[in-house]
Structure 1
Amino acid sequence: MPTPNFPKFEDFKTDKRVQYIEETESYVFTDPTDGLEYEYDSNRGAWFPMWNEALVEQQQSAYGADAVETAKTDASDSSTTRPKGREASKRKLRENTRVYVSGLPLDTTEKEVADYFSQCGAIMPDLATNKPRIKLYRDADGELKGDALVAYFKAPSVQLAIDILGDSQFRSTDPGRISVQEARFESKNDNGATESEAAKRPRVDPKLLQKQIARMERKLDWADEEKPVSDRYKRTVILEHMFTLEELQEDVTLLLDLAEDVRSECEKLGVVTSVKVFDLSEEGAIAVKFKSENSAIACVK
């Protein structure tokens, strides 16, 4: 099998055979002669084949089925050291870092959404624009629809946003509440977008990309060691199974009684700054925020 004419690193930005996959943050090269795909390993500075059926068929025709089975076994044995191709990409995609938000005010901005959702963790910057990766959905006329997609750095921020910001007042002056849930996607192609959408995406300068990724990794390493979670949420405790939806429907005063009872009990452990009953929560959740982290730890124990 002839060696493909791989593009050079400095040509990634202009070479149309190279695509940058946002979801896996990697470059993929498609060989126009046989349609095979290769993923660029920035640490090794080399291209590696992405395992697919076309590659299997080509190897079978060149070496025979037995050789391919041996190759599969070898790949399986070494999978613990370096998962390759689509398998590695799928593993990266399994850990979702995005939330879908609905019920937003129709005059909101990306900055306002970023400020609100950054309470639950650092928001991933767009590698092309360096702005927070937030998408406000619009209708055919370009008007905001009230829903958005927010991408975090870390997967744990997703559940934190669901627990803390779900069914919350986005603005203190607006009685409306927002819904927050884990984002789900139905890929239209391998990149999760139609060909026309993919063509509209700005091509990322690979050198700039590597610098930004290195900067992000340093920031995350520092954050993991020094401050893994916002201090505000170190002081917040989520109590579950405190009530059922049926109980709230039967007794309209239960909501206030619950908040008062929980505050009264928790104040035995320290100063309580707020108590929030998630009245639509099927888990019967109540959030209690203490003034000090030690009080929150004592509550959990």
Structure 2
Amino acid sequence: GRARARSGSSHGRSLLFVMSRSDGGPSAYQAAMAREQARLDAARKRSLHEASVHGEAHDDVESAWDSVFDAQKSEVGPSEAEAARARKLARKTEKRKEKAANQAANAANWSVYVCGIPTEVSHTAVQNLFSKAGEVKRVKLYKDGRGENKGDGIVTFASGGAVKAALEPGREWALFGEHLSVAPATFDDKPKVAESDWGRIAVVCGMFTQEQLSTSTDAKEMIRGIEEEAWLECARHGRIERVQCFAADAACPVVLRFEASSAAAACVDSMSGRYYDERQLEASLYDGHRKRVMPDDVDIERSVRLGAVVAERRAEQEREAAAVAAAAEAEKE
């Protein structure tokens, strides 16, 4: 009978080890630690009993045993279960990093170009719409120099399958009743200003603020007025090719491109330190700022229209100067 019992006990221990390997049960190490913990608990009870018999302080014995258990925990270190959790967390973190890197590498292939977007909608509305094709990672709405939506943008998905669904033949997209045109996105290098042209560009800050634009009843008209006022004021330094306000830039710059670098330098000297609308202006030559890039072409419409105004002002000044000179000659006579 005893032999059978020992055999059964041995079988039980073997089963315990098998279970630890196959179904996540306690390992041999954990079982040994449990037995050690039970032994220490029993010894602790005996010590407390003997302390009470001999009249020793109960708290002193408890404190001594607490130090034993604390030392044991520091020597043993983390359990296998904790180590397993740490390994699992590390694998998840690594997978997330790989997924993010894969999405970044495929951003161009997983993006579509959308035009016809109503200018008053936010990127959230666009994201919600295209989420019907798959997970959307990013929406970029293009803005003009005044900070207004231009009506087009880029939608980047989390997978190639979502792009395929968005571009599915026959599928139509519409937002607030406006038909949208969707096509594969193509990316060109960001526009730049040739460094050789930097000397022809003057940047004037302080002529307007974003707060003024937000409270204006017609921000576009306000921007147009500032651009043309700057054009007329600075045209005396030389021929201007284009003027543009960049409302999305926190510095609110007015950028003027002249035909000659000498005119741009004169503009900077003239505008620096002046006051406009109770604000002191700051002026400098262009420094390559990527968010202040104007089209390369000349603004023909303004060149003609405002050029005529400048010519009329100069003629008026010449007439006034001639009249003053004539009056001075008459006084001499």
Same fold? TM cut 0.5 = no
Greater Cα radius of gyration, structure 1 or 2: 2
TM-score by length of 2: 0.26
